[in-house]
Chain A
Amino acid sequence: MAEDRWDKIGKHFEEARAMPPEKRAAYLEEACEEEAIRKEVRSLLDTETQAEEFFGRLAAALPDAGDEEPSSRDPPTQGLRTPDPLDLEGETVGRYVVETHLGGGGMGVVYKARDPELDRPVALKFLPPHLAASEEGEQRFVREARAASALDHPHIATIYEIATSEAGHRFIAMAYYEGETLKETLAREGTLPVEETIRYAKQIAAALAQAHDADIVHRDVKPANMMVTASDEVKLLDFGLAKAAADTRLTEPGHQLGTAAYMSPEQATGKPVGPPSDLWAVGVVLYEMLTGTRPFTGERAPAVLRAILEEAPPPLHEQRDDVPLELSQLVGQCLEKAPENRPASAARLLQALQAVRTESGPPHAPIPRRPRAWIPESLSSLGFLALLVVGAAGVAWLAWALGLVSPSGLFSAGPGGPSPRKDVTHFDNAGERPERLAPTTVAVLYFEDNSPGDTLTAFADGFTEHLNHRLTTVDGLQVISQHGVEPYREASPPLDSIAQRLQAGSLITGSVQPVADSLAVHVELIDGETQSHLMSEMIRRPAAEVFALQKDLAREVSRLFRKRLGREIQLDSWQAETQSVTAWRLVERADRLHADARQLEREDQLAAALDLAAQADSLLDQAGALDPDWSAPPALRARLATVQVDPYALDWGERERDIVRRRIAYANEALRRDSADSGARTTRGQLRFWLAQHVDDPERSRMLVRQAEQDLHRAIRESSGAARAMYTLSRLLLENRGDFQQAFYYAERAHEADAYLRIPSDTHHQLFYAALNTGHFADAARQCRTGQRLYPKLVEFQNCELTLLATAGAAAPNVDRAWTLVEEIRERTGPAKQALYEALSHAKVAAVLARAGHPDSARAVLRRIREANPLVSYQRAHAYLLLGEETQALDLLSRAVRQKPQYRATAAKDPWFEALRSHPRFQQIVDP
């Protein structure tokens, strides 16, 4: 029957698919008895690729499109996904949900997946079939992967675990990085600028130095094994895996050529392979990055291998003018045929790279480093210091003290390595190093126990671990693991060398000590680059249950740290954007004024806030003129609107609208200067969203909401931590679309993305509202309590509790508590908003009274409310509904939406009005 035939075709189709195309015809000839079946299978095989592509792409249009945020760099190719070789897409492997096939090679097949527990993307690498086939190959794979997984370095891809799927596939789960491999970068760019090459090279060398320290040799260093992440950092992939594959590798056709090109002579001849082989490969990669061609080429693998063994490539500086002689020599040294003539170690290579000065200078004029703490700008030139300290030993000490070399490295130069003397000449003009440690890479050093009898050691350790753990959960931070800082626990080398060793731009150190009957934690944030103290805080807590105290303190310190670091990072990124030091300083001052102005505004000191905003505006005006290409000044000017108008005031006039329109024009200017300024885009979206609430023409309002939505979506798509955009989008969805689920989703994401706590109270509050409206009352209550604890002065978090009391199902209607809250809200409200807030609170108290079974009191409270504001009407409608007075409720609701059509979407889905949903008049009100 039909099914029989179908199954027969299916079996042949499956068999044939598994074969290389050239063998299929013969198979079909042999296996299919019927010509018709053979024809059918052939026809299916012919359409297969297109069919897979069709379904793959169409699946992207389904509601569960694999990529929630297609990155802007790859939309057209996104659809051209390679087929799914292990047919795992959509499957669950271990605890991971496989999303898309990313690629594959000799080292295995890689899929992007999601870890639902930790809600993060991961890359899963499956053992390639030719390795999986043998027990021994598999065990070696696991052993090597396990060794590599112990490595912890910002430039080594992080391995999470090695596991086996239900179907028996071995796989490695590792961090997923947005970006492309260096191979892809090179294919696109041809060659890379010298500066960038050096920067990547240093990262690679640093990673190898740590691996070699741990006795792990990579063995397969090549561009395809280097990820260049979206934040332009290199991550080395596949440590040690080559070893497992070594035997099978050479026999694999087609694969070898690419790899052979990076093979060292000793590897090519089957001699023992050690760290020098990796350095050779680095030399090949550097050569390729700078010239666009590999130093040893040939049409077939044997020719390549012969070149590796016999030929000397032309020196780099002859190939390309702007390659500094030192760099050319260094690469030449890496490509020495005899391993002992190459740099003595990856650490030495790193030092030498750090000392390379580019002759042509960076592409732009160098910007002086922002002066930080004790290193005055003029002194950061080592040449100057070198004059003061005479003699090689002095220079050596100095180089060591500044983290350029580790003490051991300098004195243990191996044969063939650069001699100390040579180093000295480099350091003379080392000036400032082009590479800066990333401040987002954080090392939490073990806190010291400063108690008299060393009684707090366990506490200090526990605290350190808690803090480390807390910071690990912050998006955008790379935290060196416990394991990584362990070595600096007993022996405490100078901070700068720790920073260099761990490549950590931020160090956290501190101590714990008892003070009377409480515990004090002293914590410092130190700039890994300059060792200046960015933050120094003492936190005291009454001695309590140890575990709770550790957690509490860790939370507090983490908050302080995130805020402080956020500012550092913002300032740094601004600095990188402009060529004008003066403009940068003006923007920094303006930013501070803006922050102060916002604070004053919160405290209801409006005149003073406006004054500061005006000052900031004028500074930004100057900054914008000094560097006419820089988008930050106009972008910040646009943001000043947040001080100049109150977005949630209900009575905007032409003045407010005009201010906002003008500020939108500044955002446009910023985007004209730099269309990728997602901060400016967010601000424009935010301002359009505000304006939409306050224009009379409904069509115009709808258009503004649409435009705002576009801006915000794009900002979220284009930047990694767009907390403000997500927060604003969440509000828009909640208030203008009535789309609570989505609003909740974006509120959560905003909260997570707000790594540096720039808008923490906003995200908490938004989470509260979104949770409330989606009926997650326990969540809502938790957000409200958290807000009260963290922001005791903010009226929002008193108000939220009152809202909970007023909402059926959310909390028991505690009348006493409600009145207390009314009082607390009054205390926290400035005179300007006093009347409105009181009316709003009273409407909610009426709801609480109605719920508590005091209808008469509720009515009395409602009668006293005089405000005709639409929001008040909306809330009164709710109270009347709880009293069973539907007509009154509908009248008020109708009045509210007449004044504010924007309320319709919310009202339609508001749990408060659930009981009215089927009422024809209600439907008429929300959807006329």
Chain B
Amino acid sequence: MTDRPSHEKASGQSQSPWDITGILDRLREGSDAAEKALFGRVYGELRKRARGQRRRWKGDPTLQTTALVNEAYLKLVGQDDRSWKNRSHFFAVSAMAMRQVLIDHARRTRAEKRGGDAPRLSLEALREKLGQEAAMSEEDAEAFLVLDDALERLEETHPRAARGVECRFFGGMTIAETAEALGVSTATVSRDWKQAKAWLYREMQRIRSGGTPPDNDTDAERNPESDDAFSAPESSF
């Protein structure tokens, strides 16, 4: 029982020296490169874990966002690094990755379910249908995508609040963890979180009704082709 599992050695990847602590250190100092490197790793890991489970997004505690991120943390960082600071930074990056994984998944769901030309529901109609089915429903997917668009707009004007939403909503982080990761007070996180929800909702209503943001013009509306293009690499797995 003392010998290590051979398959871990065989996979090669886990042996490659990957200086996570160094990356996290640089991350804390605000290095974009470090963030990118970490994002890539975490994204890959989360995607791998989430992929086999498409049909069971919901109802599976082993697939909790937090649990997933925790697993990824253990796998990539290991159990030795217990520093709270490192954890929350890691989690914050993971929240971004989680958002991406979810949005990928939502695009795929939409593409699979309707191929891109079903009637568009208003945000209000959409709201009524959210979160009811065991798997991600078409409405859920729509909602995630429109949220993603709105969040992009928030990022442009109020990046701190946007990061907070990412941490809280997609990363399942607590207020304290979010505050630690973003380097602001818990009161700020809590306030941003509430304000951002209302702001985002209003923005989503605008997007949904075909309007453009008042202050910023983006081509956030995506056409179905680009959705397909995005989900294409997935099918080759």
Contact = CB atoms under 8 A, between A and B. Distances in A.
Contacts of A62: 57-58, 65, 102, 169-170, 172
18 contacts: A6-B158, A44-B199, A51-B200, A51-B202, A53-B127, A54-B130, A54-B201, A61-B57, A61-B137, A62-B65, A63-B102, A87-B190, A777-B1, A778-B1, A781-B1, A808-B6, A812-B2, A911-B7
A54 B143 contact: yes
A742 B59 CA distance: 11
A338 interface: no
A90 B174 contact: yes
Given A90-B172, A90-B174, A808-B7, A54 B127 contact: yes
B198 interface: yes
B182 interface: no
Most chain B C-beta atoms within 10 Å of own C-beta, residue among A17, A56, A69, A741: A741
Given A44-B202, A742-B62, A58 B191 contact: no
Interface stretch (A71-79, A479-487, A817-825): A71-79
Interface string B100-130: 0010000000000000000000011001101
Most chain A C-beta atoms within 10 Å of own C-beta, residue among B68, B134, B201, B205: B201
Nearest to B141: A61
A48 B194 CA distance: 8
Given A745-B60, A811-B1, A51 B174 contact: no
Contacts of A78: 131-132
Interface string A340-356: 00000000000000000
B201 A50 contact: yes
B10 interface: yes
Interface in A1-42: 2-3, 6-7, 9-11, 13-14, 17
B5 A911 contact: yes
A627 B184 CA distance: 69
A744 B67 CA distance: 15
A647 interface: no
A915 B161 CA distance: 45
Interface residues of A, number: 64
Given A13-B195, A13-B198, A808-B7, A63 B127 contact: no
A551 interface: no
Interface in B1-23: 1-8, 10-11
Interface residues of B, number: 65
A43 interface: yes
Interface in A761-787: 775, 777-778, 781
A52 interface: yes
A650 interface: no
Contact of B7 (A11, A69, A713, A915): A915
Interface of B: 1-8, 10-11, 50, 52-53, 56-68, 102, 123-124, 127-128, 130-132, 134, 136-137, 140, 143-144, 147, 157-158, 160-161, 168-170, 172, 174-175, 188, 190-192, 194-195, 197-202, 204-205
B179 to A, nearest CB: 12
B199 A775 contact: no
A58 B202 contact: no
A914 interface: yes
A11 B191 contact: yes
A92 interface: yes
B60 A63 contact: yes
A809 B127 CA distance: 50
Contacts of B194: 13-14, 17, 48, 87
A573 interface: no
B174 A63 contact: no
Contacts of B123: 54
A745 B61 contact: yes
Nearest to A737: B52
Contacts of A3: 158, 160
Given A54-B201, A744-B62, A775-B7, 10 more contacts: A50-B201, A62-B102, A64-B66, A78-B131, A78-B132, A79-B131, A91-B174, A739-B53, A741-B63, A812-B1
